[in-house]
Amino acid sequence: DGGITQSPKYLFRKEGQNVTLSCEQNLNHDAMYWYRQDPGQGLRLIYYSQIVNDFQKGDIAEGYSVSREKKESFPLTVTSAQKNPTAFYLCASTGGDTEAFFGQGTRLTVV
Amino acid sequence: SQQGEEDPQALSIQEGENATMNCSYKTSINNLQWYRQNSGRGLVHLILIRSNEREKHSGRLRVTLDTSKKSSSLLITASRAADTASYFCATDPVYNTDKLIFGTGTRLQVFP
């Protein structure tokens, strides 16, 4: 079945650590996105990529990094520079139509 | 820079009642979409309405779009407990077609 997969579902980070969230899609979509969602809030765009080997900062890119070496994969690294990383992270992709397909999310907690 | 703002922020109704959520946005759009999110899960696309459309139906969902007022509404008729979720509007702006801009969401609670 086609879809978008995020892993892990839950992730714990110690202070000062970098962690990487995985996002894989088999929908053959060109565009991929990372959003952050805080409790009871909407989605804020972190980074997005329209094509392999290219990506752009969203509204809250500071403290995050991404790569897009393959069309299917768009991993997000939460660096130690992100001072408040505890949140729910959502990955999405879009094809020719702008309807977005979302993964099930990764809940990151700082311990 | 969020473009969409939903109203109300939260809504509680009984099963069988209709639920109406509103979305306002700021700039010209190509289309507007509505998504649903169950607690702790990803978003699921519900319906897309293009800027040249005024109303669209899908099952128990009815969406309207008023581009002159830069607003949209989502009506869920004959609601069920299973409709309990957060609902988000998302706009595809004319000025930047690279990304969708999501609103802040409406939390809907449907009591049996």
Residue B2, pLDDT score: 47
Judged against a pLDDT cut of 90, whether residue A111 lies above it is answered with no
Pick from A82-86, A95-99, B70-74: least confident: A95-99
Token pair recorded at residue B88: 């988000």
| Residue A104: half-sphere exposure toward Cβ, Cα within 13 Å | 7
Residue A27, pLDDT score: 94
Pairing of strands A76-78, A19-25: antiparallel
Judged against a pLDDT cut of 90, whether residue B95 lies above it is answered with no
Closest CA to B102 of A94, A43, A39: A43
Judged against a pLDDT cut of 80, whether residue A16 lies above it is answered with yes
As beta bridge partners, residue B73 has: B22, B64
Q: What percent of chain A has pLDDT over 70?
A: 97
Work out how many CB contacts closer than 8 A connect A with B: 62
The mean per-residue pLDDT over the stretch A15-21 comes to 92
Q: Rounded to a whole number, what is the distance in Å from the CA of B42 to chain A's nearest CA?
A: 4
What sign does the dihedral A109-B2-B4-B8 (CA atoms) show? positive
Q: Is B45 an 8 Å CB contact of chain A?
A: yes
Condensed to tens digits (0 to 9), the pLDDT of residues B28-65 reads 999 999 999 999 999 999 999 999 999 999 999 999 99
Mean pLDDT of chain A: 93
